Amino acid sequence: MSVSKPLPHDAARLHVTGAARYVDDIPTPARCLHLAFGLSQVAAGRIKSIDLEAVRHAPGVVGVWEANDLPSDCDCSPSAHDEPMLSGKTIHYFGQPVFLVAATSYLAARKAVKAAEILFETRDAILTIDDALAAESRFEDGPRVWSKGDAGEAIDTAPHRIEGEIEMGGQEHFYLEGQTALAIPQEGGDILVHASTQHPTEIQHKVAHALHLPMHGVRVETRRMGGGFGGKESQGNALAIACAVVAAKTGRPAKMRYDRDDDFMITGKRHDFRIAYRAGFDAEGRVLGVEFVQYARCGWAQDLSLPVADRAMLHADNAYHLPAIRIESHRLRTNTQSATAFRGFGGPQGMLGIERVMDHVAHHLGTDPLAVRRANYYAAAQDVDAGGGPAPRSAQPNAPRDISGPKKDADSTTRGASPTVSQMPGAPQPDRVRAPQHQTTPYGQAVTDFILHAMTDRLERDADYTKRRETIAAWNAQSPVLKRGIALTPVKFGISFTLTHLNQAGALVHVYQDGSIAMNHGGTEMGQGLFQKVAQVAASRFGLSPEAIRITATDTAKVPNTSATAASSGSDLNGMAVKAACDTIRDRMAEHLARLYQTEPGTVRFADGHVHVGDAVLSFGEAATLCYEGRVSLSSTGFYKTPGLQWDRIKGRGRPFFYFAYGAACTEVVVDSLTGEYRILRADILHDCGTSLNPALDIGQIEGGYVQGVGWVTTEELVWDSEGRLRTHAPSTYKIPACSDRPDVFHVALWDGANREDTIYRSKAVGEPPFMLGISALMALSDAISAHGSRYPDLHAPATPERVLSAIQRVRDGD
């Protein structure tokens, strides 16, 4: 069967020959206009005067527009209708588009922009978390608070207590392909948009809104993106709308591509967070109560900040059963780029909060942080041997198990309940874990699939963690300048959109009379290999090899009302929808062929490129021809919605996630105490993809996710100056990991076990979870720094060499 095969990316050959087409590679249509935005040069205030005469007369310029020249507000927001494409008089951030230029060439448009004369009247900008708190500048009326048990009481009465704070910076997506869109006018006022977007339907919706067209008047096509990472979920709206508006106004095609510096200045990034914490725990490090106050810097517009901040709250437990917890979340509004989706979507920030607590607790007790982590793990899932034996690998779907629907949820653990019965983690006994009551997350979802005990055991063994910790301690004792550190951290990541209705997908499959197949679904390809995985699913349904399947561009005219390719959901949702479509066609074919050959439809088999009907063996092409001649419809849509979800985000209760994906990473670093420079020496990763649809692509996501996560916590520093101007606005100043930054030794293994939920071939989502494996690098740095003294390093992220050096100085001064 074609699923589970480590096949290359479907476009690999096109990538390596330069033949893969991205939006800007589409041959520029005749008379195409090129667009550029003129950007605000202050962070907050009003436009006192604006003179665009010189822009209008610059060579090649065809049109110049300000906000009030547009047919509508051209709102670009994915949520709150608070993002007009052009600023109007009021300025909300440094880099906000103020006017739009169309010219006959890309360079002409960019040069023309520089001729603008704008006088700004500035007011004090709200830039930092503290500024926003002082000004009560926030989204939603006040902080969101979710709690379970009485955390304050539990902390105050606990034998040990710590408190602290961790700052974590944002992160620029740095998709290698910048934001791009191309709009081509069609007959009758319709518009075709080619966009580099994770969310074609939203582009369609926003363009239709801007032009006062019904959605059927706008078609959006996306063949591939040169990386997305969440940065193309909503941030491409402005370009697509701009192109569509200009195309509609001029009747000419219009293309817009942000210069890299503009891309940095205009678009949103990962939310930076400050998380203050207080925890009470026992002598083993078991957390009895914990309080988090999460401050998220959301930027000027709401965008996706609410669900991002929700997801940070939803991951405040990571892998740990926290009997009493209170999470307070502030969504702060600042005069900066509007922070947006980025791989993990708040999950990394929430998770880093609790990982920091684990590290701090272990430091306080002087124990191995891994022991503390284990002591706090959720109880193991019922049928997993905690000794490390994987669940049986199975490609055959089992009957789905019923887990907490609303009814069960209502009577599961309540606020004050402390499931002390399962408070013996580390060595779960089979009889105990078989107890009917599951431990629940802070938001009340039962954790039924927890496999991290066994995974941690295996990774600890494979990475030789315990012995290396000793070796490192000995090495550090004789090395005054350089110190090593090691850390093993887990990931438990919830899979599903937290906005429940988004968990749906559609597909369209055609079988042609020669047996070739064209497949389309609502997911977009940004490098993650979704198209190949889904093609493998389709091929498997028909017993064919994936070459028989033609994967076509995502197109709102083929599959409507799609969700963003986000929340790691791409193959879960679209794989199922494609399967449904294939099965419909397959059943129709089987029925017809069975009738022809006078046998039972149930006995018709599709395998090895053939169709077995009774004693006859037909090639798939022959079978397709017979069905066509028998007037059988060989085209079908497919649809899927994730079952069992139910979620109340205000109360913070319910079952937002279909299942959890797990992983663990062990990272070793070496740190120079003279300059704070450091390197990652080795990383070992064990990650859970359920029954992998394609192990090669999954390993690719894990390696890439880890390195991107390491970037977030190490060198990727965003610096805004006191004027609110982003100073790190190009790769010259913003440093994502380069080739030599990957670990010298880098082992990645897949956990061998099926998803307990009935997902596509029992696989698990893999887009986002591995990102958070990178947290182990920050913890390893903290470990190395700790070797310089007795004080806790209090290391913030990103831990640039400068921050590392100052942490070393702190640790030494503390002695």
Partner 1 sequence: MAQLLRRIEGATLEQGQFWYSGRFFTMDITFLLNGESVSLRDVAPTVTLLDWLREERGLTGTKEGCNEGDCGACTVMVADVEGAKALNACILFLPQLHGKAVRTVEGLSGPDGGLHPVQSAMVDHHGSQCGFCTPGFVVSMAVAHLNGDTAHDDALAGNLCRCTGYAPIIRAAQAAEQAPVPDWLEPAKGFRMPQQPAPLDMAPDSADALADALLRTPDATLIAGATDVGLWVTKGLRDLGPVLFLGRCTDLQQIEETEDGLRIGAAVTMDRMLLAMRDRHPSYAEMIRRYGSAQVRAAATIGGNVANGSPIGDNPPALIALDARLHLRCGQDRRVMAIEDFFIAYGQQDRAPGEFVEAITIPVQKDRLRVYKLSKRFDQDISAVCGAFSITVEDDIVTAARIAFGGMAGIPKRASHVERALVGKPWSDATLASTQDAWEEDFAPMTDMRASAGYRLDSARNMLRRYFLEDRGEAVSVLEVTP
Instruction: Determine how many CB atoms are found less than 10 A away from the CB of residue 184.
Output: 20
Residues 640-679, one symbol each (x = binds partner 1 by CB under 8 A, - = not), give: ----------------------------x-xxx-xxxxxx
Q: What is the CA radius of gyration of the chain?
A: 27
Q: Which tokens sit at 461?
A: 């063994």
Does the annotation mark 677 as catalytic? Answer: no
> Rounded distance, CA 294 to CA 296, Å?
6
Among candidate residues 235, 164, 154, 167, the one with its CA nearest the CA of residue 198:
235
Per-residue contact flags (x/-) with partner 1 for residues 100 to 119, judged by CB under 8 A: ----xxxxx-xx--x-----
- Contact partner at residue 740 from partner 1, ligand FES, none, CB < 5 to 8 Å by partner kind: partner 1
Q: Which is nearer to ligand FES, 510 or 742 (CB)?
A: 742
Nearer to partner 1 by C-beta: 419 or 801?
801
Residues 220-249 contacting partner 1, CB under 8 A: 224-229
Restricting to residues 652-671, name those near ligand FES by CB under 6 A: none
How far is residue 263's CA from residue 277's CA, in Å, rounded to a whole number?
35
Tell which one of 227, 299, 638, 753 touches ligand FES (CB under 6 A). Answer: 227
Applying CB under 8 A, does 732 fall inside the site for partner 1? yes
Q: Which of residues 513-572 bind ligand FES (CB under 6 A)?
A: 527
DSSP symbols for 545-592? -GGGEEE--EETTTS-SPPPS-TT-HHHHHHHHHHHHHHHHHHHHHHH
Token reading at 572? 């879960």
Site string for ligand FES, 176-215 (x = CB under 6 A): x---------------------------------------
Which is catalytic among the residues 83, 233, 525, 768?
768
Which of 227, 767 has the CB closer to ligand FES? 227
Query: Per-residue b/e over 706-738, b at no fewer than 16 CB within 10 Å?
Result: bbbbbbbbbbbbbebeeebbbebbeeeebbbbe
What is the x/- site pattern for partner 1, positions 462-501, by CB under 8 A? -----------------xxxx-x-----------------
Helical pair 695-713 and 775-786, crossing angle rounded to 10 deg = 50
Count of C-beta atoms within a 10 Å radius of residue 187: 5
The strand pairing partners of 183, in sequence order, are 193, 254
Is residue 575 involved in binding ligand FES (CB under 6 A)? Answer: no
258 vs 292, beta carbon nearer partner 1: 258
Member of 56, 260, 364, 408 binding partner 1 (CB under 8 A): 260
Residues 26-55 that bind partner 1 (CB under 8 A): 27-28
Tell me the C-alpha distance between 523 and 558, whole Å: 12
Total chain residues near ligand FES (CB under 6 A): 3
Residue number of the CB closest to ligand FES reads 176
Rounded Cα gap, residues 576 and 583, in angstroms = 10
Residue 738 as a binder of partner 1 (CB under 8 A): the answer is: yes
Q: Residues touching partner 1: how many (CB under 8 A)? A: 102
How far apart are CB 729 and ligand FES at their closest, in Å?
14
Question: For the purposes of burial, counting CB atoms within 10 Å of the CB of 140, is it exposed (0-12), middle (13-18) or buried (19 or more)?
Answer: middle
**Site for ligand FES, residues 159 to 178, rule: CB under 6 A:** 176
Q: Which does 644 bind (CB under 5 to 8 A by kind): ligand FES, partner 1, none?
A: none
Give the x/- contact pattern for partner 1 in 598-637, rule: CB under 8 A: ----------------------------------------
Task: Please list every residue from 135 through 174 that binds partner 1, using CB under 8 A.
Answer: 173-174
Shortest CB 15 distance to partner 1, Å: 3
In this complex, which beta carbon is closest to partner 1, that of residue 618 or of residue 702?
702
Q: Characterize 631-668 residue by residue with b for buried, 16 or more Cβ atoms within 10 angstroms of its Cβ, and e for exposed.
A: ebebebbbebebebbbbebeebbbbbbbbbbbbbbbbb
Q: Which is nearer to ligand FES, 601 or 731 (CB)?
A: 731
Nearer to partner 1, 637 or 728 (CB): 728
As a whole number of angstroms, the distance between CA 5 and CA 540 comes to 11
Q: Which of 176, 427 has the CB closer to ligand FES? A: 176
Element (H, E) at 659: strand 659-672
- Residues 535-564, mask of contacts with partner 1 (x by CB under 8 A): ------------------------------
Exactly one of 418, 723, 801, 812 binds partner 1 (CB under 8 A); that residue is: 801
Residues 238-267 that bind ligand FES (CB under 6 A): none
Q: At CA 343, angle to CA 702 and CA 8, rounded to 5? A: 40
> How many angstroms separate the CA atoms of 390 and 433, rounded?
16
- Tokens (6 digits) for 202: 């939203």
Check residue 494 and give left, alpha or beta (phi > 0: left; psi -120 to 50: alpha). Answer: beta
Q: Which is nearer to ligand FES, 688 or 703 (CB)?
A: 703
> Which residues have a catalytic role annotated?
768
Binding site residues, ligand FES, CB under 6 A: 176, 227, 527
